[in-house]
Amino acid sequence: MRALVRHAFYRGQRRLARLWTQRHSGTLSRGRLPIFLLHSIATGSSSMAVSETSLRSQLRGLLDAGYRCIDLADAIRALAASDPLPQPSFCLTFDDGYRSVSERGMRILEDLNLTATLFLTVNFIEGRVRPPWHSTHPAMVREYSENAEHFHPLEWSQVREIIAGGRVRVGSHSMNHHLAGRLDESSLWGEIGDAKKILEERLGVEVPFFSYPYGTKRYGAYSARTEAVVRQAGYRCSCVSEIGRAKIGGGSWLLPRIPLEDQDTPLDACAKAAGAYDWVAIAQRFFQRIFPNPHIP
C-alpha cells in the first residue's frame, strides 16, 4: 500500500509539474538551489536506482534549459551570501557509495563536464553493512534482494581514483547508516565523528559535508542534538532528504534535496529545479504521518 500510494502520487505530480513548467519555462530561479539526490545508477525495479540513459537525459535537459552544475563547496558559499546566484544552478549528490558511481556515473560527469559530491557510508565500503541496512521489513528486504546486483559498494581504491579526477568531492553518510536521531550520545559521536576521521585518514582529503541516512526528521533521521554533534565534529554543512530547494542566504545546514528518479524526463528534472515540486514537502510530511518508517528494525 505504501508503494502504491507513493507511485500514484508521483504520477499525478509529474503531470501537474509538467504543465506548470511549460507555462513558466522562461523563468529560472537564482534565489533557490536544487540539490539533487541520487543513489545507484542502474536499470532496476528499485526507486534507489536511476538508469544511465535516464540520468544522462535528465542532466542534459537541465544544461540545455540554462542551468549549470556547481560544486557543493561553491554552493555553500552561495548559500551563506545574500546575493542571487549569477546563473541558475544545481548540485548533484550520491548517497551510500555504490560502485555504479564509478562504473557509470563518472562517464556521465566527464561527458557533460559536471561535478558531484559522494556521501559515503564507511562500513558499507568496508563490507560490514549493506542495504536494506538494519531493516527487516519484508518489502525492503525484497526490493534490495531482487536488485542486489545494483547495490554493490565501491572499494577504497575506486573512491581514491574518483576523487583524484577532481570532479567529485567526498562527504560522510555516517559509519553504519543508522537513524542518527534515535542513537544515544556515545553511538551518535561514533556514527558522525568517527566517520569523518576515518574517511579523512583513508582518503587523505578533507571531508566537510554530512548527509543524514534516511534524511527526514519525522522518521528520526536527525534532531537538534544530532545537528550539534555534526557541527562539533567539524563539518561545514548537513544535507537531509526532505524535498525542496536550498534558499540562497539560508545557510548550509539541513539542506533539503530533491530525488531524481528513473521515470523522470528532462522536463521533469527541469520542473524539480524550477520549483514545481517545492510543495511536495507538505505531502511528504503527511505521507510519513500515515505510513510508518519501513527502515526501523
pTM for this one? 0.92
Q: Which of the listed ranges 17-31, 74-88, 157-171 does the model predict with the highest average pLDDT?
A: 157-171
CATH architecture of 2-290: Alpha-Beta Barrel (3.20)
Per the CB < 8 A criterion, the answer to whether 153 and 102 are in contact is no
Per the CB < 8 A criterion, the answer to whether 226 and 188 are in contact is yes
Neighbours of 105 (CB within 10 A): 26
pLDDT tens digits for range 207-260: 999 999 999 998 899 999 999 999 999 999 999 999 999 999 999 999 999 999
pLDDT tens digits for range 194-208: 999 999 999 999 999
Going from N- to C-terminal start, the domains of the chain cover: 2-290
Q: Give the alpha-carbon dihedral of 216, 8, 35, 131, to 10 degrees.
A: 60
